């Protein structure tokens, strides 16, 4: 190795050790998935849905992989939700698994769309478009968190001819089949605050923020929600508004209130694992209990002290759930 004039070996070693690693450089760019999985090659593939919306899709692994795992994130989140799970799968299975993660319309790096398309059934159609565009076949596992779980269940509720792939595995994380307005903070969706916000969505951010801090807090008092839940709502609202366009955050509210896939549950044939948090006030564990009771052969794992963000709060549990489903559905996987 050539040592520049005026530097000794210690200087060179120090310079090399002080150089930011590729992973840290990726993290500094705000891409935690790239930071955690940098040793695994990926391809960013823009997918145009049938209505022309551009979805930001990231693909890990070769198309010849024996199993494909598709990750679906929650409301006002993005594909970075799954950084720990993607890192785990790439380490454990290597090229035996192909991984698909993408941002829903209006979220993350995907393009916005007319607010009239911000519906759960549209997200299910978007999922079908992604699977079709990438020619996904063979053993497939869908992993959905919160609204991502709604998307997976709504995909399974589509007519068979509209589903390009029949998933063999299903992991549902902190999610529900519907009746969101019956429990937890989602009871707010049934108050006058929701239509009021939708009516203001095209106004300035300041006006929307006033709407959020006014009718929503009033609705909290109407519904008898305690102080801890009120604090949680403020934090969640602030995070959502900081990372998601206002048109997206507000545009999806009506579909969350009307979403219902209970009739689909008895027909699900995929090997299913459901994970819930006992302290989840957005999708309380009663929703998961209903899923487990209605989906044939489903397994329900409840974490008494965990909340809603289970991919981050209990990554090892989610990882194990995915591996459990994959081991049953694809005997060719080892590890």
According to the model, what pLDDT value does residue 225 have? Answer: 45
202 in helix, strand or coil? Answer: coil
According to the model, what pLDDT value does residue 176 have? Answer: 96
Tokens of 247: 């048109």
Element (H, E) at 288: helix 285-294
**Among 133, 109, 113, 131, which Cα is nearest to 122's?**
113
Tokens of 117: 């398309």
Contact status, residue 300 vs residue 189, Cβ threshold 8 Å: no
Per residue in 98-144, pLDDT tens? 999 999 999 999 999 999 999 999 999 999 999 999 999 999 999 99
Contact status, residue 196 vs residue 254, Cβ threshold 8 Å: no
Torsion sign, CA atoms 195, 200, 201, 205: negative
**Among 249, 242, 266, 188, which Cα is nearest to 220's?**
188
Contact status, residue 255 vs residue 246, Cβ threshold 8 Å: no
Per residue in 223-256, pLDDT tens? 344 565 555 555 555 555 567 888 888 888 888 8
- As a whole number of angstroms, the distance between CA 317 and CA 311 comes to 8
Using a 10 angstrom Cβ sphere, with 0-12 exposed, 13-18 middle and 19 or more buried, the burial of residue 204 is: exposed
The residue ranges of the chain whose pLDDT is under 50 are 1-4, 7-34, 37-39, 204, 206, 209-210, 212-225, 335
Alpha-carbon torsion angle 118, 106, 76, 131, nearest 10: 80
pTM of the model: 0.79
According to the model, what pLDDT value does residue 221 have? Answer: 40
- As a whole number of angstroms, the distance between CA 249 and CA 128 comes to 23
6-38 burial string, b = 16+ CB within 10 Å, else e?
eeeeeeeeeeeeeeeeeeeebbeeebbbbbbbb
């Amino acid at each position: 190795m050539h040592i520049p004039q005026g530097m000794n070996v210690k200087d060179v070693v120090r310079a090399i050790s002080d150089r930011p690693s590729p992973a840290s450089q990726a993290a500094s760019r705000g891409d935690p998935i790239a930071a955690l999985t940098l040793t695994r090659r990926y391809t960013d593939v823009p997918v145009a849905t049938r209505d022309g919306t551009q979805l930001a899709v990231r693909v890990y692994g070769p198309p010849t992989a024996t199993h494909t795992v598709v990750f679906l994130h929650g409301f006002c989140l993005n594909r970075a939700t799954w950084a720990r799970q993607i890192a785990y799968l790439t380490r454990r299975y290597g090229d035996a698994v192909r991984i698909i993660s993408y941002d829903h319309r209006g979220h993350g790096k995907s393009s916005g769309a007319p607010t009239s398309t911000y519906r759960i059934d549209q997200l299910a159609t978007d999922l079908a478009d992604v699977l079709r565009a990438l020619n996904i076949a063979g053993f497939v596992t869908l992993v959905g968190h919160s609204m991502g779980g709604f998307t997976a269940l709504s995909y399974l509720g589509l007519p068979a001819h509209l589903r390009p792939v029949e998933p063999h595995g299903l992991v549902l994380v902190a999610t529900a089949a519907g009746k969101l307005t019956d429990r937890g903070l989602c009871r707010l969706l049934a108050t006058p605050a929701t239509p009021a916000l939708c009516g203001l969505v095209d106004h300035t951010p300041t006006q929307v923020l006033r709407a959020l801090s006014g009718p929503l807090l009033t609705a909290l008092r109407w519904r008898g929600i305690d102080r801890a839940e009120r604090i949680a709502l403020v934090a969640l609202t602030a995070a959502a508004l900081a990372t998601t366009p206002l048109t997206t955050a507000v545009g999806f509210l009506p579909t969350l209130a009307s979403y219902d896939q209970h009739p689909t549950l008895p027909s699900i044939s995929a090997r299913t694992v459901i994970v819930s948090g006992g302290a989840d006030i957005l999708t309380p564990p009663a929703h998961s209990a209903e899923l487990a009771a209605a989906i044939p052969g489903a397994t329900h794992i409840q974490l008494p002290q965990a909340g809603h963000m289970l991919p981050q709060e209990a990554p090892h549990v989610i990882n194990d759930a995915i591996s459990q489903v994959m081991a049953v559905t694809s005997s060719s996987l080892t590890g």
